[in-house]
A and B are shown apart, each in its own frame.
Chain A
Amino acid sequence: MVGQRKKDDITGSHEERFLKAFEEYSDALFRHAFLRISDRERAIDVVHDTFTKVWTYVRNGHEIDQFRPFLYKVLNNLIIDEYRKAKEASLDALMAIEGIDEGTFDELSESTVESLAATLDGKKAFELLEEMPDTYKEVIILKFVDGLGPKEIAALLEESENVVSVRIHRGLKVLRQMIGQKEKEAAAKVGKK
């Protein structure tokens, strides 16, 4: 899962390397964007913008050793911009809720994340992803869809690893709640019938 962290091939011209990165990461980036934005067209645009921004960065004389983290970083910033454009208030609100919370010991432990995850139905959780607040969605996608490690996610989001771990933990909890709620609703429906 996390094994793709190999260094990008640094042979070849800048154009070649850049296009290779596109072949390699465009799908993953699109998936990430689509899951976060839930709009196919806009997700494609965001991925496009990500690559053009990176290209501009290369043109300006910067060397990029590893494209993946860099691409994710740019993509993430663009997605946040998207949110700002779309629902500024709600994002601010979300940001406000987060932040100072340092999290409990439980939430910081990797093993509890795993045990928590083990109790969840992956398929159902995935379907509910869309309804999650973006703060959690972001980390969940980064971890479980994009396969990034806590360290990478932390670097990407410019948060501490702790914050990332807590967020993942809480995200999973939220997912579990949501799944529970769905099941209740479903049961209630069946009951009514």
Chain B
Amino acid sequence: MKRFSQQFKKKSETIRLRASERSDLRDRLTSYMEYHPLPAERKASKSISTAGIMSESSKRIAISMTYVRGFAGAFAVFMIVAVPVVAERSVPGDMLYAVKTNITEEVRASLTLSPYAKVEWETKRLERRVAEARLLATEGKLTPEVEAEVAQAVQEHTDAAQEGIASMREIDEDEAALAEITFASAMEVQSDVLAGTMAKEPDSVDSVERGQSIAVLAEIVNVVRDHASVAQADSKPSYPKLLANVESQTTRVYELFESVKQQAGAEEILNIERRLEDIGRKVATAMDLHANAPEAMVEVEPVIEKVLIEAIPAEEEVLAEVVPEADTEEGSEATATTTIENESEALVEEDVDAVVVEEVIVLTDEERAAYTIALLREALTGVQKLIIFMTDIDVRENVTIDELLPVTFTEQERTEVILTQLDVVLLIQADIERVVMTDAVREQVVLGSDVLTAELETLTQMLADGNLAQAEESVATATVVAHDLRKLTADLPRMVDTEEESEELEEVPDIEESEEAVGDVE
């Protein structure tokens, strides 16, 4: 048996696959395996070593790996590119919104290395949250929960931006100051946009609710804006840095403007050109001032800073106080007496104002420096607002350029406005002189006329001195008084040609507009 088996076996072993047949068979088999791979769940936890497969048919495996890689690549592209791209358009409540805020934006945040860019990005994120909220609100989908979320996000981004500014201040105060200005102007735009959206809402019950819901958000943004503008006013960037920033931003604005020109309407182009001129003038003035007092710019000393803080905002404050008061008086049914009382108050304030303004006009080197910086700061804010206005379609839809960035009038224009207003006042005065007065109003009218005459004298004086700010004040006051007087005497008969005159007067609606413009100038 043994012999037979052995012989038999030995003989049989002469039959075997030739090496070529064997490798061929192996190739056929491995390619079969590649085209019929195991389903994913069969692959189990055991790692698949492809080394064994690779050894004899590396070519085919290579192709297969290309497929695998290609597929994996496509999937990766989908996850890395497609999902975030789609997520970018999501709003709170969408499935991909979390991807947008927690992944895409965080990744971008971690990719911004410079603190300045970080602050910029946080500002951008804040803007996006507000834009989302507004989008939801206009669609009527802004629920209280979402709003709370947005409010929290706004707060977080504000904190992050402030934090960035604070950390920047330790390294580079100028940069921090610039960032602060940027942040403040962005917040101003947002607050304007929100106000614009609210104003747009029609008066249905539904939209009142919507309007209210944005109102809460608007309030938050306003608070942030106020904080930012206060902080911004406190910061003191150096002249060269500020100028450099203004110039680089201006270049960008011009580039943007060039690209926008084709699509924009003629009016829009004019508007933007006008703002650019304003900014250019401010920068030129600032440069002039700087050139004339180079020694003052060497270093901004604490004393100078104090002057800056006191002089510039104080002036703004007083102006702001006076103008709205005048506005309310005009609209109210106030009697001439109360007007006159308020008038005298306003006059007192004006005195204060005059002192402050005088300080600015009689420029010491320190004040010149402060004024230069203030001008540049204004220019920078203007440029930034323009950039936002031109790049953000959302902003453009909700805010007019006049609301966002009112025209800065040149001295000539200001004088013209004053003169126009003066003409109106003089017309009214002439009209009032012809009134057949009754005893009831005589006293008030006489008193008012006196105030008016005094005011007009001041005005003439101021115009002669070239003190435009003061002249604007005077003409505004005079206009208010004149209007009150006219209202008071409206029902009374005129001596001659009364009808025509008053009609003519009705046809001068410019007063209110120009007044507003004057109020906004500073």
Interface residues of chain A, those whose CB is within 8 Å of chain B, are 1, 11-16, 18-20, 22, 26-27, 30-31, 34-35, 40, 44, 47-48, 51-52, 55-56, 58-59, 61, 113-115, 117-118, 120-123, 125-127, 141, 144-145, 147
Contact = CB atoms under 8 A, between A and B. Distances in A.
B7 interface: yes
Interface in B31-57: 32-33, 36-39, 42-44, 46-50, 52-53
Contact of B11 (A11, A15, A30, A122): A122
B83 interface: no
Nearest to A50: B29
A57 to B, nearest CB: 11
A114 B11 CA distance: 19
B12 A126 contact: yes
A67 B337 CA distance: 113
Contacts of B15: 30-31, 34-35
Contacts, number: 119
B68 to A, nearest CB: 14
Contacts of B2: 118
B10 interface: yes
11 contacts: A1-B5, A14-B42, A14-B43, A20-B52, A30-B16, A44-B17, A55-B29, A55-B33, A56-B36, A118-B1, A122-B10
A48 B3 contact: no
B7 A55 contact: no
B38 A14 contact: yes
B448 to A, nearest CB: 101
Interface of B: 1-13, 15-17, 21-22, 24-26, 28-30, 32-33, 36-39, 42-44, 46-50, 52-53
Given A18-B33, A48-B29, A55-B33, A125 B16 contact: no
Contacts of B7: 121-123, 125-126
Contacts of B4: 117-118, 120-122, 125, 144
Contact of A19 (B3, B39, B53): B53
Which of the listed residues A26, A35, A114 has the most CB atoms from chain B within 10 Å of its own CB?
A26
A121 B5 CA distance: 9
A178 to B, nearest CB: 14
Contact of B3 (A40, A44, A118): A118
Contacts of A40: 21
Nearest to B6: A122
A22 B26 contact: yes
Contacts of A123: 7-8, 11
Nearest to B26: A22
Given A18-B33, A26-B25, A125 B1 contact: no
Contacts of A31: 12-13, 15-16
B33 A115 contact: no
A125 B12 CA distance: 11
Nearest to A144: B8
B120 to A, nearest CB: 51
B9 A144 contact: yes
Nearest to A55: B33
Contacts of B42: 14, 58-59, 61
B5 A144 contact: yes
Given A48-B28, A117-B1, A123-B11, A26 B22 contact: yes
B17 A126 contact: no
A121 B8 CA distance: 8
Contacts of B3: 118, 122
A14 B24 CA distance: 21
The 7 closest A-B pairs by CB, nearest first: A122-B7, A126-B11, A114-B1, A122-B8, A145-B12, A117-B4, A122-B4
Contacts of B22: 26-27
Contact of A44 (B10, B21, B52): B21
Which of the listed residues B12, B29, B38, B47 has the most CB atoms from chain A within 10 Å of its own CB?
B12
A126 B8 contact: yes
B21 A117 contact: no
B17 A27 contact: yes
A14 to B, nearest CB: 6
A15 B1 contact: no
A59 B33 CA distance: 10
B48 A13 contact: yes
Nearest to B50: A15
Given A12-B46, A15-B52, A35-B12, A115 B1 contact: yes
A59 B9 CA distance: 35
A15 B33 contact: yes
Given A59-B39, A122-B11, A16 B48 contact: yes
A48 B38 CA distance: 18
A126 B11 CA distance: 7
Nearest to B2: A118
A130 B44 CA distance: 45
Which of the listed residues A44, A56, A122, A141 has the most CB atoms from chain B within 10 Å of its own CB?
A122
Contact of B32 (A26, A47, A52): A52
